[in-house]
Amino acid sequence: MRTYHQLTDPDRSGLADQIGAQRKRVAERLAGVRRIVAVMSGKGGVGKSYVTANVARALARAHKPVGVLDADLNGPTIPGLLQVLQTAQPPAIGLDGVKCISMGHFLDQGAPLAFKGPAAESFVWRGAMEASALREFLGDVEWGNLDVLLLDLPPGLQRYIELCDILGNAPAVLTVTIPTPESRDAVRRAMRAAVDHGSELLGIVENMVGREFAGTAADDLAREFATPVLARIPWHPTPDTWSALGSRL
Amino acid sequence: MKFLCVECDQQMAFGERQLPGDGTLAATFKCPKCGRVVAMLTNPMETQLVSSLGVEIGGRTVPAEPFEIVRANVVTGGPAWSNDAQERLSRVPSFVRGMVKKIYGDYAKDRGITEITPAVMDTARAELGLEGM
């Protein structure tokens, strides 16, 4: 009996072609984006979204068109940070003219992300649904010409891996950590995954510096991965703090 | 996926797709040589997995709309909860709060009520026999 790859007649479903069309749509939408930067840490609570939003605003103030894709589908915070809640036609325009798309635009106020579908064993399809939502955020938004599209990733590696698959290549990565050794160890895994996938490491942002969180995470990781520490963000940063970071991207 | 007519050693061709509306899917395939037709039947979970990928068995008949997966599948439109109702709900023991919230939510949804207030909760409690909730 012949096997799958030995059956070569045209397939009316054309599933491979449908996937190819999805990828083409993403590529066409992002054709005007000069650079895609994934903001990641692999760890929660280090301030990725806060850094993302403020760097985006700093770039926008420097007259660089910038967009933010809130890839944290289950905990979207970008709409709040950029002060946009709902929009009928993404992208929404946030503070300083930053374009953004977020699952927060589609959810009722305070509602968790839930999908219609069979409840039993929903883990089987939920990941695919979230990946498709991410693909639509990339491919269905009229981003136009952007200097930078910042992708605010949730904790963990799953969304980053989905992103690499959807884009067809690995985006540049801006890493965020706090100074503690616990954060360093979690962020190291994310950076190693980024290197393994072929991402360019742009550098490290050390957030929440100068008070309770003691450690040398940024310096340790910078040495280990031969990448610069781009900024150390104090507890009360000023617009100049973000402008300085933006100028180094 | 592909289907092979083993007897004829022929790849079977897609025939038609049916969506009965219960979350399942039926797709037929026909052997171009002997004419044998088989049906692939998927359960709701399998059907959902395929549609989650944004692809359609049998091919797309209309182009994809922007955000069609998000707009079609993200749950929205549940009734809002007034502050007073939320405060009252917060006094329900946490281990049953989710269930109680769902009961009131379903009650409001069934009746087209857009905001759950303490008055709505009182009415629902009386109608549904939820004394103490």
What's the average model confidence in pLDDT over A224-245? Answer: 95
Give the model's confidence band at A226: pLDDT under 50 very low, under 70 low, under 90 confident, else very high.
Answer: very high
Which of A2, A120, A140 minimises the CB distance to B67? A140
In this prediction, residue B29 carries a pLDDT of 94
Q: How far apart are CA A99 and CA A78, in angstroms?
A: 11
Of A239, A146, A246, A160, whose CA–CA distance to A205 is shortest? A246
Q: How far apart are CA B115 and CA B133, in angstroms?
A: 18
Rounded to an integer, what is the distance from CA A167 to the centroid of its chain?
12
What's the average model confidence in pLDDT over B79-105? Answer: 81
pLDDT tens figures, A12-24? 888 888 888 899 9
A72 in Cβ contact with A152 (< 8 Å): yes
What's the average model confidence in pLDDT over A28-56? Answer: 95
In this prediction, residue B116 carries a pLDDT of 86
Q: Answer whether residue B132 shows pLDDT above 70.
A: no
What's the average model confidence in pLDDT over B82-93? Answer: 82
A101 in Cβ contact with A137 (< 8 Å): yes
Q: How far apart are CA B102 and CA A146, in angstroms?
A: 43
Q: Do A12 and B59 touch (CB under 8 A)?
A: yes
Q: Do B69 and A129 touch (CB under 8 A)?
A: yes
* ipTM here: 0.86
In this prediction, residue A139 carries a pLDDT of 94
Give the model's confidence band at A119: pLDDT under 50 very low, under 70 low, under 90 confident, else very high.
Answer: confident
DSSP helix/strand/coil, A209: strand
Of A49, A18, A56, A25, whose CA–CA distance to A135 is shortest? A25
Least confident of A161-165, A190-194, A208-212, B114-118: B114-118
Q: Which residues of A lie closer than 8 Å to B, measured between beta carbons?
A: 1-2, 4, 7-9, 11-15, 18-19, 21-22, 25, 90, 103, 106-109, 111, 113-118, 120-121, 124-126, 128-129, 132-133, 135-136, 140
Q: Answer whether residue A63 shows pLDDT above 90.
A: yes
Phi, psi of A92 (to 5 degrees): -80, 160
Which residue has better confidence, A209 or B114? A209
Query: Angle B83-90/B94-110 helices, nearest 10 degrees?
Result: 140
Separation in Å, CA of B104 to nearest CA in chain A: 16
pLDDT tens figures, B60-74? 877 888 898 998 888
Give the model's confidence band at B32: pLDDT under 50 very low, under 70 low, under 90 confident, else very high.
Answer: very high
Q: Answer whether residue B77 shows pLDDT above 70.
A: no
In this prediction, residue A152 carries a pLDDT of 97
In this prediction, residue A86 carries a pLDDT of 62
Q: Which residues of B lie closer than 8 Å to A, measured between beta carbons?
A: 2, 4, 6, 9, 11, 13-14, 23, 44-45, 48-49, 52-60, 64, 66-78, 80
Q: Answer whether residue A248 shows pLDDT above 80.
A: yes
Give the model's confidence band at B99: pLDDT under 50 very low, under 70 low, under 90 confident, else very high.
Answer: confident
DSSP helix/strand/coil, B48: helix
Average model confidence (pLDDT) across chain B: 86
Q: Answer whether residue A174 shows pLDDT above 90.
A: yes
A71 in Cβ contact with A151 (< 8 Å): yes
pTM exceeding 0.90:
no
Q: Answer whether residue B31 shows pLDDT above 60.
A: yes
Of B42, B24, B72, B25, whose CA–CA distance to A116 is shortest? B72
Q: Do A108 and B56 touch (CB under 8 A)?
A: no
In this prediction, residue B94 carries a pLDDT of 77
Q: Answer whether residue A183 shows pLDDT above 60.
A: yes
**Secondary structure element (H or E) that encloses residue A130, with its range:** helix A123-139
Give the model's confidence band at B109: pLDDT under 50 very low, under 70 low, under 90 confident, else very high.
Answer: confident
Distances (CA, A) of A111 to A27, A114, A168: 32, 8, 32
